[in-house]
Amino acid sequence: MLGFLKDKVQSKIRSWDGKIMARSGKEILVKSVVQTLPSYAMSVFLLPLEITRDIEKSLSKFWWTSKPTNSSHISWMSWERMSKHKTAGGLGFRNFRDFNLAMLGKQGWRFITNPESLVTKIYKAKYFSGGDFLTSSLGHNPSFIWRSIHAAKQLLLEGVKWRIGNGESIYISGQPWLHDNTNQFFTTESPAIENQKVSSLFKLDEKEWDVEIIEDIFNDRDQRQILAIQLNKQVMKM
């Protein structure tokens, strides 16, 4: 179904056959023209690896072929290395798989930040009615679009965390809100925190951690992480 993207890229490259170009010209064409062709589809669908690899092979061949009429070429550098930033020894081209996941991650981010939008309400009702996108699962008989967006969930989990406001929208467990860069989730296992919100760790009618409750429930690591979070008493959101 998505094979037309590969054909579209190859067709664009073929239209440049017969033209002698400098490396700088090829770089501009690849980055500003060819790499943008599948962007719209990548924001909705997770392209099969076969398609992304074929696109990358076509671009690599176009880049390393010195003469338009010469069909043979040697790739002196893998696309994985070529897709690295120039400061890291690459050429700054796009890793299509990573870009695909990033575009789908934007859709997941919209589910999180725009809970009142129509599309969020539809997907929430079908796939994560009991939580949010970060706690969602594939569910039974998921659509191709949901499979695609859900594939980017782990990417969001690695870089997203809650900012504590009134704590009424954040579950204690299963959601990232600790400030540990290596693990933003709890390591404590206790039935006392299941389905409980962060607000339950505050003192009654106060925007302040209840140290006694925290010390009773959580292990030493989690205690340190929670108490290290400075609460803004003026912020009453999230």
- Say yes or no: 184 and 237 in one domain: yes
128 belongs to a structural domain: yes
pLDDT > 70? residue 196 = yes
Instruction: Identify whether 126 is part of a domain.
Output: yes
What value does the mean pLDDT take over residues 192-213?
Answer: 89
Half-sphere exposure of 137 (CA within 13 A, CB side): 5
Q: What are phi and psi of 208, to 5 degrees?
A: -155, 140
Same domain, 126 and 173: no
Average pLDDT, the chain: 87
Which of 136, 159, 182 finishes a domain?
159
How many domains does one find in the chain? Answer: 2
Q: Which residue has the higher pLDDT, 161 or 119?
A: 119
Is 226 within the bounds of a domain? yes
> What integer pLDDT is reported at residue 235 of this predicted model?
45
**Whether 173 and 237 share a structural domain:** yes
pLDDT above 70 as % of the chain: 94
| 209-227 exposure pattern, b = at least 16 Cβ within 10 A, e = fewer | beeeeeeebbeeebbebbe
Q: Which domain holds residue 201?
A: 161-238
Residue 177: which of 193, 195, 163 has the closest Cα? 163
- Residue 235 forms part of a structural domain: yes
Give first-to-last CA distance, the chain, whole Å: 41
Output the pLDDT for position 211: 93
Give the span between the Cα atoms of 65 and 61, in whole angstroms.
Answer: 6
What tokens does 103 get?
A: 């575009």
Last residue in a domain, options 159, 175, 203: 159
169 plus 238 within the same structural domain: yes
